């Protein structure tokens, strides 16, 4: 009896110590997370400032080039200009050079600070992940000491998996925002900046070279605006195809897969086996996103040359088939970081569907999905 009491005391003390350690690790993780979020916000602001400085640099370089050309013209025909005109040309060119140097230094400092933050963020991320891993491990020990080990292990595994999926979703969102920011800056934003500068040039070209040269500049300007508009439309389409609301899921998938085939050089075949009809909006979105994710996962991981997508809209249910001739995998082996399949399963589960995967190494992958329509199988 005394031995049982001693053992109980030892276990209680162990639980108390483990719980205290968990709290300390949790505090370390939370402090690191707070600093991570603060630095993340600062990094976003710095990235915005870098873009602004780059835009200023580009505009200043254009003005500086005009000033240098003006100075060269004055120097070449020195006798045609007054002393004030010569001095003004020199001072303006020099002033722009000084401003360029200041902006270049500002950009350099911003980039250095950005690099420092990114290195610190990597370390903080590692600390947060290790703290979370330790807390999860300690939770396993706690539940082992206080309850049913098997049940707790399953709960912890599910919780860890969902936590990883949640973090992966957040990371994917951040990556998507970064990609969009980069695309907008390198595409439409850059083009619009050029449009603004070119529009300033038109009048000067007209005055210096006449109507025909000005018309040529306007024609080039119109082409730049056209290209910018096309780029903006492409970005909008990637975010949410308007055809999905206007035409439905089948025409939207047909167009998306055609564009995807052109982009990836894959041979993609799309077949609609049933009659085209509209489905509830949330179901159309889920089907489109599922096929989109499946196609992108196949392209990224399976490296196929051919992809087949079939859809059949029956009265009671919809059937999806996605087949590729890629390198395949063993579905029974749980791959670390296989969040693509988890995300696809979650999309299917959200609309009460069923998904099956048939794949073998070097033999491609076949994914079949059945989705009830209006609650009927």
Residue 186's SS3 state is: helix
pLDDT of residue 377: 41
Alpha helices in the chain (DSSP H): 2-76, 83-146, 149-184, 190-209, 211-239, 242-246, 249-264, 281-297, 339-350
Query: What is the C-alpha separation between 207 and 351, in angstroms, rounded?
Result: 65
**Which candidate, 298, 346, 353, places its Cα nearest to that of 322?**
298
Beta bridge partners of 309: 270, 322
Rg of the chain over all Cα atoms, to the nearest angstrom: 31
Measured at the alpha carbon of residue 9, what is the angle toward residues 7 and 12, in degrees to the nearest 5? 110
Query: What is the C-alpha separation between 30 and 248, in angstroms, rounded?
Result: 45
pLDDT of residue 4: 47
pLDDT digits (tens, 9 = 90+) for 297-354: 888 888 899 999 999 998 888 999 999 999 988 877 765 545 567 777 777 887 888 9
Q: Pick out the chain residues at pLDDT < 70.
A: 1-12, 14-15, 18-19, 22, 141-189, 191-193, 195, 198, 200, 202-203, 230, 233-243, 334-340, 375-377
pLDDT of residue 150: 46
pLDDT of residue 304: 92
Instruction: Answer for the pair 243, 252: CB distance below 8 angstroms, yes or no.
Output: yes
pLDDT digits (tens, 9 = 90+) for 141-177: 666 666 544 454 455 455 555 555 555 555 545 555 5
Residue 367's SS3 state is: strand
DSSP-derived letter for residue 376 is B
Burial of 45 from C-beta contacts in 10 A (0-12 / 13-18 / 19+): exposed
Query: What is the C-alpha separation between 190 and 179, in angstroms, rounded?
Result: 15
């Amino acid at each position: 009896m005394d031995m049982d009491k001693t053992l109980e005391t030892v276990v209680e003390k162990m639980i108390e110590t483990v719980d205290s350690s968990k709290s300390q690790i949790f505090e370390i993780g939370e402090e690191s997370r707070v600093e991570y979020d603060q630095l993340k916000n600062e990094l976003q602001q710095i990235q915005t400032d870098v873009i602004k400085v780059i835009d200023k640099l580009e505009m200043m370089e254009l003005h500086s080039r005009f000033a240098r050309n003006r100075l060269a013209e004055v120097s070449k025909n020195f006798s045609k200009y007054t002393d004030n005109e010569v001095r003004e040309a020199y001072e303006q060119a020099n002033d722009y050079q000084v401003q360029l140097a200041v902006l270049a230094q500002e950009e350099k400092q911003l980039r250095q600070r950005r690099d420092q933050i990114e290195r610190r963020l990597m370390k903080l991320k590692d600390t947060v992940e290790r703290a979370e891993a330790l807390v999860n491990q300690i939770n396993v020990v706690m539940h082992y000491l206080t309850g049913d080990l098997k049940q707790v292990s399953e709960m912890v595994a599910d919780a860890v998996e969902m936590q990883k999926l949640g973090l992966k979703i957040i990371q994917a969102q951040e990556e998507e925002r970064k990609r969009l920011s980069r695309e907008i800056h390198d595409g439409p934003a850059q083009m619009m900046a050029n449009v603004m500068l070119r529009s300033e040039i038109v009048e000067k070209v007209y005055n210096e070279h006449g109507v025909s040269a000005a018309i040529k500049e306007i024609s080039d300007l119109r082409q730049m605006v056209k290209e910018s508009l096309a780029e903006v439309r492409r970005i909008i389409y990637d975010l949410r195809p308007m055809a999905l609301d206007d035409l439905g899921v089948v025409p939207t998938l047909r167009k998306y897969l055609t564009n995807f085939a052109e982009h990836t050089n894959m041979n993609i075949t799309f077949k609609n086996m049933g009659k085209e009809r509209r489905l509830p909006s949330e179901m159309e979105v889920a089907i489109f996103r599922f096929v989109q994710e499946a196609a992108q996962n196949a392209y990224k991981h399976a490296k196929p040359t051919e992809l087949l997508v079939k859809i059949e809209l029956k009265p009671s249910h919809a059937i999806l088939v996605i087949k590729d001739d890629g390198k395949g995998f063993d579905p029974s082996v749980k791959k670390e970081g296989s969040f693509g399949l988890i995300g696809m399963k979650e999309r299917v589960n959200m609309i009460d569907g069923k998904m099956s995967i048939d794949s073998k190494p070097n033999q491609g992958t076949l994914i079949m999905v059945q989705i009830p329509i209006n609650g009927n199988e």
